[in-house]
Amino acid sequence: LQRKRVFKIPVLDLLRLAILEVILASKDDCLVAGDLCSSDESCSPRLRTLRQCVAGNGSMKLGPGARSQCANAMSALLSSPLHDCQCKRGMKKEKNCLSIYWSLHQSIIHGLKLVESYPYETVQRTPSELTAQIPFCHSDIGMATVNRCLAAAKACNVDDLCQKLRTEYVSACIKPTPKSGLCNQGKCNKALRRFFDRVPADYTHELLFCPCTDTACAERRRQTIVPSCSYETAEKPSCFTQMRICNADLVCRSRLAQFQHACEPSESSSHGCKQGTHRDCLLAYTGLIGSTVTPNYVDNSTSSVAPWCSCSASGSHKEECDHFLGYFTNNSCLQNALNAFGSESQQPGTPSPPSFLTPTLDSTENR
């Protein structure tokens, strides 16, 4: 009996180690990390404790005894795979994954410092050869004189996933409901989220951030996400209210946190961003499309972006409101990312193509 035991333990440990290594190698997914933790008899109760700690408004309301229990649970979990797990945008059970992520990271809010982190992986599961297949390169004969936004739409049409999900959101966003005659905003936004979460950024970024030199092009680009259905209302709501609604939703709040992290401006950095690359910032930006705080181009004469809201009547929350809005309207990282996207892969001085103002529907684009 004794011998058996001695034999069993190392095997189990090795197995656990192997599982752990697989998870670590593939950059932990919080669902997997959560499952692994739940099947571990020392990890499991700690996660349960921590979830209780952050439930509602968390440990602020707990007594000193409970608070130290929460702190203990958290510091123990720091050495588990939960520690730096993240989620994938649009993944199955995204909410479950995010709730595991925030059980650890919400604790920061309650004064327990954790390493700086953010909810979503920035690496997309995109085959690297994909980029080579997309005909955006200006050296292609004739491409230099073609509207790059139009080229992006055509490239999307020849990719099955891009074509399918784009058609889905366009039809969801332009279809009037029999009852009101208006579009179904909820369905439109859901379809937009699917598009920007599932279609590789190589396609979506070209469609949304393609450079424009005239108003027709810029208007068409602004129409990409069908503003009349996805967010426009007669009156602009308060940004502060929008922000609160967003923060009450696990997914929206995570997208916003990701955006604020990835697009954090920095004066001392040459590219304007404190954390990551321009691409990370743009990727986080598209994560907000289809949410309560959907950003878009504000007009057809600039490349300024903002969510559809205003801080003019935000009263005592004016400062907080301006700070939120400024992240879109006065942000060197985001603005550089938007501007650089156009110039990085295009020769300067290419003549502006004849204006196309085509609706976002697919059928009209190939004419």
The residues that touch ligand NAG, with contacts defined as CB under 6 A, are 56-57, 215-216, 219, 300, 326, 330, 357
How far apart are CB 329 and ligand NAG at their closest, in Å?
A: 8
Containing H/E element for 306?
A: strand 305-307
Instruction: Give the DSSP H or E segment for 296.
Output: strand 295-297
CB nearer ligand NAG, residue 157 or residue 215: 215
Q: Which amino acid is at 298?
A: V
Kindly tell me which of 56 and 315 has the beta carbon lying closer to ligand NAG.
56
Whole-angstrom CA distances from 351 to 53, 135, 147, 185, 212 are 60, 19, 10, 38, 11
Find the helix packing angle between 185-198 and 160-174, rounded to 10°.
Answer: 160
152/217 with CB nearer ligand NAG: 217
Query: Which parts of 94-249 are beta strand (E)?
Result: none
Give the shortest CB-300-to-ligand NAG separation in angstroms. 4
205 vs 222 by CB, closer to ligand NAG: 222
What is the C-alpha to C-alpha distance for residues 149 and 217, in angstroms, rounded to an integer? 7
What is the C-alpha separation between 133 and 158, in angstroms, rounded? 11
HEC secondary structure over 194-210: HHHHHCCHHHHHHHHHC
Closer CB to ligand NAG, residue 60 or residue 78?
60
Cβ at position 154, least distance to ligand NAG in Å = 21
Minimum distance of ligand NAG from residue 319's CB (angstroms):
11
> Nearest approach, Cβ of 244 to ligand NAG (angstroms)?
10
Output the smallest distance, CB 279 to ligand NAG, in A: 22
Q: Which residue, 82 or 218, has its beta carbon nearer to ligand NAG?
A: 218
Least Å from the CB of residue 281 to ligand NAG:
16
Rounded to whole angstroms, the Cα distance separating 34 from 94 reads: 13
- Give min distance, CB of 196 to ligand NAG, in A: 24
Helices 148-157 + 201-209 axis angle, to 10: 150
Nearer residue to ligand NAG within complex by CB, 279 or 323: 323
User: Closer to ligand NAG at the Cβ: 193 or 253?
Assistant: 253
Identify whether the C-beta of residue 263 lies closer than 8 Å to the C-beta of residue 333: yes
| First-residue to last-residue Cα distance in the chain | 79
* CA–CA separation, 119 and 29 (whole Å): 10
DSSP state of 80: S
CB 207 within 8 A of CB 149: yes
